[in-house]
Amino acid sequence: MHDAVRSTNNMGEGVVIGVLDDGIDAGHPSFGDEGMTPPPARWRGRCKHAGVAACNNKLVGAREFTRHLRHPAGPARTRGAGTHGTHASSIAAGALVRRADADGGAAVSGVAPRAHLAFYQVCAARGCSRGPVMHAVETALADGVDILSMSLGDDDGVGFHEDPVVAATFSAVMKGVFVCAAAGNKGPTAGSVANDAPWILTVGASSQSSPQSITNVAAFSSRGPSRNNGGVLKPDIVGPGVDILAAVPRSRRGSGFASLSGTSMSAPHLSGVAALIKSAHPTWSPAAIKSAMITTADTSVTDENGSPASYFAMGAGLVNAAKAIDPGLVYDISPEEYIPYLCGLGYTDDQVNRIIYPAPVVHCAEMESTEAKDLNTPSVMVALTADRPAVTVRRTVTNVGAARSVYRVDVSAPEGVSITVTPTELQFDEFRLGSVCSSMDAPNPMRLAAPLSLHVTVFLLASLLVSTAVAHHDLGLHKNYLIIVHTPYEYDRNLFKDVSSWHASLLASVCDMAEEELDKDPSAMTRLIYSYRHVINGFAARLTDEELRDMATKDWFVKAMPEKTYKLMTTHTPQMLGLTGQDFHAGLWKRSNMGEGIIIGVLDDGIRPGHPSFDATGMKPPPAKWKGRCDFNSSVCNNKLIGARSFYESAKWKWKGIDDPVLPISEGSHGTHTSSTAAGAFVPGANVMGNGLGTASGMAPRAHIALYQVCFEDKGCDRDDILAALDDAVEEGVDVLSLSLGDDEAGDFAYDPIALGGYTAIMKGVFVSAAAGNMGPDPATVANEAPWLLTVAAATTDRRFVASVKLGNGVELDGESLFQPKNFPSVQRPLVRDLSDGTCSDEKVLTPQHVGGKIVVCDAGGNFTTLEMGAALREAGAAGMIVINIEELGSVIQPKAHALPASQVPYRTGQKIRAYMNSTKNPTGELIFKGTVLGIRDSPVVAAFSSRGPSKQNQGILKPDITGPGVNIIAGVPKPAGLMMPPNPLAAKFDILSGTSMATPHLSGIAAVIKKAHPTWTPAAIKSALITTADTMDHLRKPIAAHDGYPANLLTVGAGFVNPMKALRPGLVYNLTAADYIPYLCGLRYSDHEINSIIHPLPPVSCAKMPAVAQKDLNYPSITAFLDQEPYVVNVSRVVTNVGRAKSVYIAKVEVPGELSVTVMPDTLRFKKMNQAKRFTVTIRPVGAPRKKGIAEGQLKWVSPNNVVHTPILVAFKKFVQDNSSSAHLTH
């Protein structure tokens, strides 16, 4: 529990825990206030003891209520020796103290180490009397505590009306204060539980748990049932209470720490967990916090004899702090709801009013009483007897999880008991109430004379995607097809239990083969490959040509698409992007907790789970909403890599070499690299052959990773497998999807799996980042161009692995190389050229006589790779090599680990070397290795391979959207590829790869940290924040350049190079909901069938019944306009939402070339509150006669004292020409 609790956001910051106990050592290190903020402004408590200086921002209050209990020897001060109180207080909220045990090896902290403590001394040597306890509770409520922790109680079992402490705690709950109390130490005797009022969390004690041990309820922990309210389960829960190491008063010989046992130790554990939940959910009621802990408790608990613990021993089970933060549903109770329950217990009006004072006086005769079984507690307890063999229990649950969610009931009934629940499914569209009604009856009631405790569990509905394929040899009779069926897609629920069975029936209607045919082709029995529920209305199946023709005649058939293959498109970049600030504990990471709790789903080719980048040290468990799984050995998954699944049911029929099963544990270099780039853990000493040495990490190092294997080495990524993975990822609970794959021939959005799955994802609040492709620098090659996707281009970083060439004339020119020999002699050597075709690929020319002891200049682009060139030259005795890049790659170098000293230089640099060699009879040169150089000023530069716009599918939307680091990125791999020099076998496995595949996970990780910082933002808001804050200038304050050295236009760089720090606080955002894209799709002239295929599972729409939205008017954070026809005026409408300072003023500033006139109305936006939206119109016209072709570009800036919101403007004077001749490939 401690690891999960320590990683909980804010660690209880701002919450005040009031502890009622016997004294406290106020000067103990556990109560130091380093890093603590002051108590909240509402705090009214004080320090009332001799040493006022002992109070601080940790111990914010200390009062004494024990004067009549003082020992005759003298007064008892709150700062006096109180072993019990010091111990309990430090468990709840003690500060971190290192070297706490006798051996100096343990670090100790409270469960909520940033919560404040207020101590109330109510016990002395003679015990704790009711008067001081009542007075202390009353004072604590006036002081402003949030939690009351009471490791004390009375186990005599008196009625609630006779126990003034019970009445005092009811007052606390009325004021919204959570009350946690010890169950008592009278176990294992039945009916010994104390503090059993239903508004109190009653805590039993268990042994401390670990992955290697079993949790036991302590023998001393008091047992239920409750003597005062037999219809409410007590204790509620158990927490660690055996041999708990925590603070005790300091002595000369002692360490100030000791191990104690008792429910007195378990109660403050739960008080600390309550503080964490209260800090995360400040509006939750005490009952909601209590419900969150009870409904998420772990039930794998045994009693003192090693048998499964009963509910009367463990309550709901062992507290699970990480799950309790996000319970999904809670059983809420207002204080007023306890009044009819008290009436139902048979208390008189006087007794009830005594308990609920100072609430208004009530009369039980004037209200309908509530039976204990119907009190809306998070447990159910009933007695079934011969006279009452059936009982109906009513509950109401409140949705505190995902706004749109579905819950299905699963009941584990005891033997001999039948339990039915109505309704069996709860569907939530918002944060509101739903209800559950349960009825229980016993077929043999005489066996159940004793009270029966039942624990009802409610869980999220799992994905209904079904894969029924079994591995069989395919005789070649069938082909894979994606089948789209008509909407609406409602099916007869009396005949079909779910979507997959309905799809199977449709398939069966055309695959009714004779038995002898099945014997010839067993694969015909496994025709249904995937049944899609979320991303598309259809299924994937294996069909013969005849069956396909038959299917096309069915009234439910829309379209069949044949199989299609898609292709796969760090130690420094976190610092370069400003994530870390001056160190790893500052910058954006500090403000977003490094993406903690966010789940990034990566679709790729596999992963190496044991890689240090996926180490889970310090990671908390995934949020409770996570429903994914590991398809390989579960021990390989952890709190970093929380899911890994392989989708190959379609691919295995296409590529016969793929065996069943194909597991995500397959060593996918691409997937390991992209996953560790997005969310890899900190790995010190990461490097590639000594280059880039530093601490590697992903962009969101505390985010979780879920890997979906959809691609296979040397083959590609099957479309239907991609759809299935997206279908499951959305259902399983990812927050961000990272897709370093695509196809620039994907075509219409209605038939592109990434567009389809991406739309379903954003409809459920999932952000999608996808690679722009690696087919640059040709125009109109951009992939993944749907406007709901963030389309990412690739550029260089400010890091180089410098290998300079110093010519004989003294000129020094920079190149790069990963092989950086330490002791290469700095001497001038003869420079020679390959005398054949210049590519150093003719072994007849590469002889020792020609190249021995010399530096050979080679042209890239021949039959040999640069690595093969180096190997051949080394064999021939060359001293070194200079490789001149091809002209198309421009200034961007992708260095290699060559077999001999070498330098790769850009084409223009190579021309200077050639000119020097032609100018002298005996040219010489030397190679100077400078290692890793940071802070390169002329960066970033957009890579030549990065695909360019315009978009083919929606020319009115600027694509790519943005550029990220994608050249020479160091990240984790199973093993470095292509090394011509032997790597260090002890070094962690890292390699340098390039591509938009590498840029995409950078943006995915940055989106995760923004999502963490702003959990309510939509995917469109996060996307807008990234686009409107991107940098348009390089480190020299010049426009970002393309590979050829010229300024990169908007179709190359998008809005610019990502700036994460600015994106965290963009000021204004252009927001869009999933529904906003529907009229835009109508404007693209998609048919109703196609649009309904895209927006599935939303209800079907008809474009004839809604006004279409032109591409230019989609509320996108960039503007594209065409001035290609009269009257040569374009009006563009946009709406911005204020996410910055509540009261703020933004003034429009337009930067465009002189040939354009751009006006903005209104030109000033005044906001009075957060989330306020303002509309404006941009009018674009030419100055004079417009030119006939080409583009012009500029930007609109909304400027305030704190923010500048950039909106790129692209103006085309002629419609773009579509070019569908390109196909995507992976660039490494």
Is residue 23 domain-shared with residue 162, that is, in the same domain? yes
Tell which of 1051, 1069, 1087 closes a domain. Answer: 1069
> Minimal CA–CA distance to 925: which of 1052, 824, 1037, 1054?
824
Catalytic (active site) residue 84: yes
Is residue 105 domain-shared with residue 172, that is, in the same domain? yes
Q: How many CA atoms lie within 13 A of 1172 on its CB side?
A: 13
**Contact in structure between 803 and 811 (CB atoms under 8 Å):** no
Residue 327 contacts by C-beta under 8 Å, 6 or more apart in sequence? 291, 292, 295, 296, 400, 401, 624
Is residue 924 domain-shared with residue 861, that is, in the same domain? yes
Strand partners, 391: 440
User: Would 16 be classed as within a structural domain?
Assistant: yes
Pick the catalytic residue: 209, 697, 903, 997? 997
Catalytic (active site) residue 438: no
Cα dihedral 255, 261, 262, 268, rounded to 10, equals 50
**Contact in structure between 94 and 24 (CB atoms under 8 Å):** no
Is residue 496 domain-shared with residue 587, that is, in the same domain? no
CATH of the domain at 821: 3.50.30.30
Catalytic (active site) residue 1087: no
Look at strands 201-206 and 257-260 and give their pairing. Answer: unpaired
Is residue 510 domain-shared with residue 633, that is, in the same domain? no
Laid out side by side, the sheet with 565-566 consists of: 565-566, 716-718, 711-712
Is residue 711 domain-shared with residue 829, that is, in the same domain? no
CATH of the domain at 248: 3.40.50.200
User: Would 1049 be classed as within a structural domain?
Assistant: yes
For residue 832, the enclosing domain spans: 800-932
For residue 1141, what are the CA distances in angstroms to 780, 1144, 1146, 1166, 1202? 40, 6, 11, 11, 9
Q: How many CA atoms lie within 13 A of 516 on its CB side?
A: 0
First to last CA, the chain: 43
Residue 18 contacts by C-beta under 8 Å, 6 or more apart in sequence? 118, 119, 120, 140, 143, 145, 147, 148, 149
How many domains does the chain fold into?
Answer: 5
Q: What is the DSSP letter of 573?
A: H
Tell which of 403, 427, 460 closes a domain. Answer: 460
Tokens standing for 1166?
Answer: 């005044």
Look at strands 1191-1199 and 1164-1167 and give their pairing. Answer: unpaired
**CA pair distance 1211, 1217, nearest whole angstrom:** 15
For 228-254, the three-class secondary structure string (H helix, E strand, C coil) is: CCCCCCCCCEEEECCCEEEECCCCCCC
User: Would 409 be classed as within a structural domain?
Assistant: yes
**Contact in structure between 1205 and 1146 (CB atoms under 8 Å):** yes
Pick the catalytic residue: 22, 163, 236, 604? 604
**Per-residue pLDDT at 164:** 64
Catalytic (active site) residue 298: no
Catalytic (active site) residue 604: yes
Is residue 846 domain-shared with residue 722, that is, in the same domain? no
Residue 882 contacts by C-beta under 8 Å, 6 or more apart in sequence? 805, 815, 831, 855, 856, 857, 858, 902, 903, 904, 905, 910, 913, 925, 927
Tell which of 292, 318, 344 closes a domain. Answer: 344
Find the helix or strand (DSSP H, E) in which 883 lies: strand 880-884
Alpha helix stretches (DSSP H) within 118-190: 130-143, 164-174
CATH of the domain at 416: 2.60.40.2310
**CA pair distance 1113, 1054, nearest whole angstrom:** 18
**Contact in structure between 620 and 596 (CB atoms under 8 Å):** yes
Is residue 89 domain-shared with residue 204, that is, in the same domain? yes
Pick the catalytic residue: 84, 116, 572, 1043? 84
**CA pair distance 758, 485, nearest whole angstrom:** 20
User: Would 339 be classed as within a structural domain?
Assistant: yes
Strand partners, 121: 21, 64
Pick the catalytic residue: 161, 503, 670, 1096? 670
User: Would 133 be classed as within a structural domain?
Assistant: yes
Is residue 898 domain-shared with residue 967, that is, in the same domain? no
Q: What is the DSSP letter of 211?
A: T
- At position 986, the amino acid (one-letter code) is L
User: Would 1222 be classed as within a structural domain?
Assistant: no
Pick the catalytic residue: 21, 332, 752, 798? 21
**Per-residue pLDDT at 448:** 23
Is residue 201 domain-shared with residue 313, that is, in the same domain? yes
> Minimal CA–CA distance to 566: which of 732, 755, 786, 769?
755
All residue ranges of the chain with pLDDT < 70 are: 1-9, 49-54, 67-81, 99-106, 125-126, 131, 155-158, 164, 208-214, 251-255, 430-477, 487-498, 512-526, 566-592, 632-635, 655-667, 714, 744, 746, 976-988, 1217-1228
pLDDT in tens, 369-394: 888 889 999 998 888 777 788 888 88
User: Would 1150 be classed as within a structural domain?
Assistant: no
**CA pair distance 773, 759, nearest whole angstrom:** 20
Is residue 316 domain-shared with residue 397, that is, in the same domain? no
Number of other CB atoms surrounding residue 590 within 10 Å: 14
Rg, the chain, Cα only? 34
**Contact in structure between 646 and 664 (CB atoms under 8 Å):** yes
**CA pair distance 733, 597, nearest whole angstrom:** 12
Laid out side by side, the sheet with 767-771 consists of: 641-646, 704-709, 599-604, 736-739, 767-771, 790-795, 962-965
Helix (H, G, I), strand (E, B) or coil at 6: helix
**To 5 degrees, how large is the angle CA 594–CA 597–CA 600?**
85
User: Would 231 be classed as within a structural domain?
Assistant: yes
- At position 65, the amino acid (one-letter code) is F
**Contact in structure between 789 and 781 (CB atoms under 8 Å):** no
**CA pair distance 758, 762, nearest whole angstrom:** 6
Beta strands in 941-1054 (DSSP E): 962-965, 969-972, 990-993
Tokens standing for 259?
Answer: 């191990």
**Chain center to CA of 937:** 34
**Per-residue pLDDT at 592:** 61
Is residue 437 domain-shared with residue 555, that is, in the same domain? no
Burial of 489 (0-12, 13-18, 19+ CB in 10 A): middle
Beta strands in 368-495 (DSSP E): 380-382, 390-399, 405-410, 418-422, 425-428, 433-441, 452-454, 457-460, 479-485
> Minimal CA–CA distance to 983: which of 972, 974, 975, 973?
975
CATH of the domain at 542: 3.30.70
Residue 915 contacts by C-beta under 8 Å, 6 or more apart in sequence? none
Alpha helix stretches (DSSP H) within 552-687: 573-576, 587-592, 651-654, 669-679
Q: What pTM was computed for the model?
A: 0.59
For 104-124, the three-class secondary structure string (H helix, E strand, C coil) is: CCCCECCCCCCCEEEEEECEE
